[in-house]
Structure 1
């Protein structure tokens, strides 16, 4: 059975997916380090009190954010959080009772976590495996969720040059999310779009795309009045492009 036929046989419920997104929103794409440290303790405590499916997913994503933001600036304290994230999410991914509307988030963060494990351990083959996982998640869920393309694009834009065949996804995935958002205003929230507009502009800094890049940077800034998403980076890039 093809992926398309399989999805048609078991379609995801968009309203259920959005309900899960709301339950996960406060642990996704965290950039405030003090807030992240407090949130990590809170999410761990809640999982210990109630190891439910949603709390396990929240903890797996929280470990991902910890690894992404802290493991590369600390020599020891936060090492291993990428592996902890992958293990939590991988277990959920293979649990038959996991609600299917959670899978776009679980499968995407699972792939991203594996890429972080690869970066931390210098095992480059894990990055390749992570992109295979992304490919699967994009094929299955990108029609209904921004998450697979958003995280694949985010990982791709930070890869070293030796992964040139993977770096192309940074441009492709940001554009795909913008296109879907234009067709469906509920497709992605303000936080994701602020990061996405900045990401698009960051990948299109040449003169050919200058006007469009500046428009998207203005959108990234406007969507993020309290500097919780892409505003700071967008303001810095806008200043650079105007000089």
Structure 2
């Protein structure tokens, strides 16, 4: 009995240590947002084209770990915002993003505080590859990667749920099980933001409040949805995030 008790203690400690190893500290993860923010969620395509060239040049000049992550993310943004509107020039950027981030993901020396960014954008990049190649199997694999990222990092980073929710809400109607995850993910983010105002920045929450309202257009949710739309608008005075879409949806609700 005594030996079993000792074994149980050791097993429990190993499990806890494993969780700690998987989940870096919130404050340390947060420090990287200032170095990655300007390559994330770029909705202005002119700005994005300039930023793509800038980040590629930075990587060629200084191919360090941080610039590798920045390159993987800017490739993701290029795929998301340019490839689907281009015949040839921007095709293949989703795969480039996935490959770049996979190299970091599979490396034993990658900084653990960067893993929430790497795993989240890697999953989203694979979903974009699936959309570009019309391979549903890749979408299923992407959602498995999202689930793993959420399990490990959602407590310290908004990215796993934000990116999965963003993918899920744009899926066709017949993928209803996956589409429902958007409701869950955006609500979880709002709950975490209410508990910790430092959880996500203004840009992400502007998108999130608009996304929640879009997912809850029924009359029973109207008061709350309008309140969230007002927050989405207030957080984005310069139309860099969700304001434009929030104003359109608000106008629809009022009419």
**TM-score between the two structures when normalised by the length of structure 2:** 0.93
Match of 1:112 in 2: 124
Q: Which has the larger radius of gyration?
A: 2
CA contact (8 A) 2:23 2:153 kept: no
Match of 1:215 in 2: 227
- Runs (5+) with no aligned partner, structure 2: 1-10
SS in structure 1 at match of 2:174? helix
- Structure 1 residues 3 and 64, CA gap change in structure 2 (3 angstroms): farther
TM-superposed CA distance for 1:12, in Å, is 1.2
SS in structure 2 at match of 1:161? coil
Task: Say which of 135, 153, 172 aligns to 2:165.
Answer: 153
TM-superposed CA distance for 1:96, in Å, is 0.9
TM-superposed CA distance for 1:15, in Å, is 2.0
The alignment's C-alpha RMSD in Å is 1.3
**TM-score between the two structures when normalised by the length of structure 1:** 0.97
Stretch of structure 1 that moved more, 156-165 or 190-199: 156-165
TM-superposed CA distance for 1:242, in Å, is 1.0
Task: Say which of 180, 186, 204 aligns to 1:192.
Answer: 204
Aligned pairs for 1:115-130 (under 5 A) are 115-130=127-142
Match of 2:217 in 1: 205
Stretch of structure 1 that moved more, 2-11 or 170-179: 2-11
CA contact (8 A) 2:203 2:235 kept: yes
- Runs (5+) with no aligned partner, structure 1: none
Match of 1:173 in 2: 185
Count of aligned residue pairs for this structure pair: 243
Q: Distance in 2 between matches of 1:169 and 1:54?
A: 30
